Amino acid sequence: MQTTAFPDWVEPMAATLTQERFTGPEWIFERKLDGIRLLAFKQGADVRLLSRNRLPQHIPSLVQAIAALPVGDLILDGEVTWDGRTAYHVFDILWLDGRDVMSVPLDARRALLRELPLRAPLQRVPSLDDSKPWERACNEGWEIGTGFDTKLLLELRARLDAIEILEPPFTRAVGLPRLRAHWARPEIVVQVGFIEWTVHGKLRHPRLLGVRTDKVPREVVREAPAPRG
């Protein structure tokens, strides 16, 4: 463990994409949650919440719970979800009371994390003991994309296959994907929750809320805030 100045930012560790399935005692498996990556920086009573893109997040319930932890300074790594209630699923600890613990083995960091008295909305991410965790993920319908389950994915795929077209349906568009795009006629309406519109006109952290059968596509427009006063 290293003792250095408390950092303003820590680059979150990213997963490595692979097509191979693997298991064994040297691996630890955890469920991938449907939320946004969130790093929590605590210095005394001051708490900062930052997304993986270093964007500040305003979540008062998490700030209050993290500020109450009985440590001086701390950096947590996890995922925040909004499934009816806000929850911060903590899967790693990167800093603890003046010590940089990022070079410490994962088992030791998990032991440090277990010693923290996490209470709702904070919770530890448990490891999966299944010998083949991907089979459990398939059986229980776990998905990376928020709001989807296996049944809905199959239904939507069948509907999108039936209305597939070769070219994008947009009359004006910028930044469209060029590879592995599946274009379809705009006939399916869905309701989507999201944090905000980006400066580039895209949704930040969208999640599917449901398919709307009571609206036709031409009724869907970008909503604007109501004028004040």
- DSSP H/E element including 75: strand 73-82
At residue 207, φ and ψ (nearest 5 deg) are -145, 140
* Residue whose entry in the numeric block shows the structure tokens 């994907």: 177
Q: Domain spanning 143-219 has what CATH number?
A: 2.40.50.140
Kindly report the average pLDDT of the chain as a whole number: 84
- In sequence order, which ranges of the chain are alpha helices (DSSP H)? 60-67, 106-115, 133-139, 150-162
pLDDT score recorded for residue 144: 46
Structure tokens at 131: 């010998």
- Average pLDDT (3-32) is 79
Phi/psi class of residue 180: alpha, beta or left (left: φ > 0; alpha: ψ in -120 to 50)?
left
Report the pLDDT value the prediction gives residue 72, as an integer from 0 to 100.
Answer: 95
Whether 141 shows a pLDDT value over 60: the answer reads: no
Q: Is the pLDDT of residue 53 over 90?
A: no
CA dihedral 25, 26, 31, 35 (to 10 degrees): 170
The CA-based angle 32-37-39, given to 5 degrees, is 130
- pLDDT computed for residue 225 by the predictor: 63
What is the pLDDT averaged over residues 39-53? 94
Q: Which of 17-26, 30-39, 103-112, 180-189 has the lowest mean pLDDT?
A: 17-26
| Tokens read off for 120 | 């709702």
CB 211 within 8 A of CB 188: yes
From the CB of residue 33, how many other CB atoms can be counted at a distance below 10 Å? 19
pLDDT of residue 138: 61
143-200 tens-digit pLDDT: 644 567 778 888 999 999 999 998 888 887 777 777 888 899 999 998 887 777 777 7
The pLDDT of 198-219, averaged and rounded, is 80
pLDDT at residue number 220:
87
Question: pLDDT tens digit string along 73-101?
Answer: 999 999 998 877 889 999 999 999 999 99
How do the residues of the chain divide into helix, strand and coil, expressed in percent and rounded to 5? 20, 25, 55
Q: Categorize the per-residue pLDDT at 25 as very low, low, confident or very high, splitting at 50, 70 and 90.
A: confident
**Can you tell me whether residue 10 is helix, strand or coil?**
coil
Cis peptide, bond prior to residue 121, ω within 30 of zero: yes
Whether 212 shows a pLDDT value over 90: the answer reads: no
Quickly count: other Cβ atoms within 10 Å of residue 77's Cβ.
Answer: 21
> Where in the sequence of the chain do the CATH 2.40.50.140 domains occur?
143-219
What span, in angstroms and rounded, lies between the C-alpha atoms of 205 and 191?
14
Q: Which CATH architecture has domain 1-15+22-140?
A: 2-Layer Sandwich (3.30)
pLDDT tier at 207, thresholds 50, 70, 90: confident
